[in-house]
Structure 1
Amino acid sequence: MEQSMNEADRYEVSADEVRAFSEQGFLVVPQLLTPDEVVELRDHTEAIISGELTIPGRIEPPAPDATPEQIKQHHVRIHQLHFVHELHERYLLHPRVLDVLEGLIGPDVMAMQTMLFLKGPGQVGQGFHQDSYYIQTLPDTLCGAWLAIDDADEENGCVSFVTGTQYEPVHRQARNVSHDDTEVNDLARITEKYPGPEVHAVMKAGDVAFFAGKVMHRSLANRSKDRRRRAFVSHYANARSWTHWGAPVEECRNQNQILARGRTHLPYREPMFGTPCAALDISEEAAAG
């Protein structure tokens, strides 16, 4: 039987990759996105940066009298656009990204968050932090996916990880997490316990870095003169993990998350723009009887 396009394109996570993710706290998968997909993301971000694409309450245009430099610096980070723009939902539920997640944290996967980073020359980075500090899941199965839209290196502010810290607890009492000054960020002192070098994830556009929710990581300032460092970052967890993210600890918020792969005993929602995923598969099965 001829293999379908979906089967042919499926990414099979190897045992070595699962082991590397467990031992390092992160895994970079080269060229998971196609060149055409990278171009689509770049064109989309250029439309945002130029002010051509606006969404009231989400993407506001630059001031009418803004200088070209001010226009370039107007947007740095935009959250949760998958609620209002189909492209963001589509990349949140990208099949090959979900293939990897299915192998790392699955088989049941829920999609929780999107962020678009548009770090231009001269813009600061983000200091050491744990994503599970911000997005709580029980048990903690949080996993980020960092899609490189541009080539990323130390000069233009790539992300870096401290191997071994994925086994640390979530340090909720730490002060000044995410602050780029290592003298005041408590997590920076915790990273000093680890003998291995901080790993700078040098990536090509189209590469995707997957990282555990508790691994300590940071991004560097963009020290380049003319190179933007754009990235599409999403967060996921095993769909059988309970989350109160965005609500008091006693309240369940799984119903706000998309069931991307597999099944779950917990509530979930369907994608707003109809991007194929497990939630829609279940609805179709139910409708068919």
Structure 2
Amino acid sequence: MSTTTALRASVPLHEQVDNAFREQYARDGYAVLAGALTPQRVEDLNRDAIRICRNTPLSDGDDLTGLSDADVLRRFLCIHYPHKISEIAAAAMHDEQVVAALTSVIGPNVKAMQSMLFVKSEGKPGQAWHQDEHFIPTRDRSLTGVWIALDDATIENGCLWVIPGSHQRGVLYPDRDQDDPQFDCTAEAYDFPYTEEDAVPVEIPAGAALVFNGYLLHRSLQNSGKHGYRRALVNHYMSAESLLPWRKEVEGSHFGEYDFRDVVLVAGEDPYAYKGLRDLSAPHARRDKEGGCDR
């Protein structure tokens, strides 16, 4: 199936995040928030992306001196945790419209644990089918991704594809390594009861955001355009009430106490504020297959 998600760009925020938004999110596992970021915020993020890439080498000894801004950007696929080195990216994590959408589908208390800045210039790969909850497990299945387009996202330049309703079972499907050159190093999910015909491309303009459930099967394809980027800022959120059993830096001797505390509260209260916060994640560049996958 091939369709483009309809947007309501002229509709005020309080009317965008309405029952229809929540109903689509519950039914399909995703909904689109038009105008999540202002054109100025998008421009500022794209400008800051150059600085972020210049300060985040792909490997030790990587020298970007003398390269044009365009050549620097083309070397990168994704930067993890840009909110830790960019005030602009950190502010976007707290954006009023985004937070309003999050509280409507998660609840009043929301925390973030990850940000990613995708550059994806022409020829760069996409990601195979996967579910974000596979990588970031929440205790209450509240993981929610916010994929904000910083360029118009189209089929040609590698927009996201989703399988509507694939989140409803609440099942994490098996995954395996893959060697398809159109995808980066990320493992692919398989053995799920859907076909390629069930997939829908989500083409959205710069500034719009795709809000989606952590169990939703989604992928992106290679940027096949002859020039240009498909930049996107992706943040991951969850309910602040839920512990986050992520990574090995945990407290206590029982799995039930595991809680990753490198988080950012974006709405409401943090019931676990007494635990404090820890700086556990460092900004880094994601490798693609050209740079060798870290298995």
Task: Give the TM-score range, shorter chain.
Answer: 0.7 to 0.9
Cα gap change, 1:59 to 1:94, in 2 (>3 Å): farther
Deviations 1:195-214 (A, max 9, x none): x6311110100000000000
Shift of 1:95: 1.8
Partners of 2:129 and 2:42 in 1: CA distance: 28
Q: How far apart are 1:90 and its partner, in Å? A: 1.1
Could you say which residue in structure 2 is the equivalent of 1:233? 234
Residue 102 of structure 1 corresponds to: 103
Over 3 Å counting, the alpha-carbon distance change for 1:61 and 1:34 in structure 2 is: farther
Change (3 A) 1:157 1:22: same
Matching residue of 2:18 = 14
**Residues 44 and 88 in structure 2, CA contact (< 8 A), matched pair in contact too:** no
Match of 1:253 among 241, 250, 259: 259
Whole-angstrom distance in 2 between the partners of 1:269 and 1:58:
32
Q: Which residue of 1 aligns with 2:288?
A: none
Match of 2:74 in 1: 73
Cα offset for 1:82?
Answer: 1.8
Q: Which residue of 1 aligns with 2:115?
A: 114
Cα distance, 1:191 vs structure 2: 5.1
Name the stretch that deviates more: 248-257 or 124-133.
248-257
Q: Distance in 1 between matches of 2:189 and 2:45?
A: 33
- Aligned residues of 2:128 and 2:188 also touching (Cα < 8 A): no
CA displacement at 1:67 relative to structure 2: 8.3
Matches within 5 A, 1:160-179: 160-171=161-172, 173-176=174-177
Paired residues for 1:8-157 under 5 Å: 13-48=17-52, 51=54, 54=55, 62-64=63-65, 71-157=72-158
Bigger CA drift: 248-257 or 232-241?
248-257
TM-score of the superposed pair, with normalisation by structure 2:
0.77
CA contact (8 A) 2:161 2:220 kept: yes
Q: Which runs of 5+ in 2 are unaligned?
A: 1-11, 280-295
In the alignment, what sits opposite 2:272? Answer: 266
Report the secondary structure of 2:192's partner residue: helix
TM-score, length-normalised on structure 1?
Answer: 0.78
Given that residues 258 and 271 in structure 1 are in contact (C-alpha distance below 8 angstroms), is that contact kept between their aligned partners in structure 2?
A: no
In structure 1, distance between residues paired with 2:199 and 2:232: 20
- In 2: Cα distance, 1:13 partner to 1:178 partner: 40
How far off its partner does 1:236 sit? 0.2
- Distance in 2 separating the partners of 1:153 and 1:57: 27
Contact 1:178 1:218 (8 Å CA) reproduced:
no
Q: State how far apart, in whole Å, the 1-side matches of 2:240 and 2:233 are.
A: 21
Aligned-pair CA distance for 1:271? 11
Larger RCO, structure (CA 8 Å, separation 6 or more): 2
SS at match of 1:88: helix
Distance 1:242 1:113, change over 3 A: same
- 8 A contact 2:247–2:260 mirrored in 1: no
| Greater helix share, structure number | 1
CA contact (8 A) 1:128 1:178 kept: no
Measure the CA separation in 2 of the matches of 1:172 and 1:122: 29
- Percent pairwise identity: 28
Q: Does the residue aligned with 2:176 lie in a helix, a strand or coil?
A: coil
CA distance 1:69–1:9, shift in 2 (3 Å): closer
Q: Is the 8 A contact 1:131 1:213 kept in 2?
A: yes
Spell out, residue by residue over 1:6-51, the C-alpha distance to the aligned partner (whole angstroms, 9 max, x if none).
xx976762001100011111111111211111111121123445x3
Match of 1:285 in 2: none
**Aligned pair 1:192/2:194, yes or no?**
yes
Counterparts of 1:193-208 in structure 2 under 5 Å? Answer: 197-208=198-209
**Counterpart in 2 of 1:209?**
210
SS across alignment from 1:119: coil
- Consecutive unaligned residues of structure 1, counting only runs of 5 or more, are 1-7, 273-289
CA distance in 2, matches of 1:198, 1:114: 25
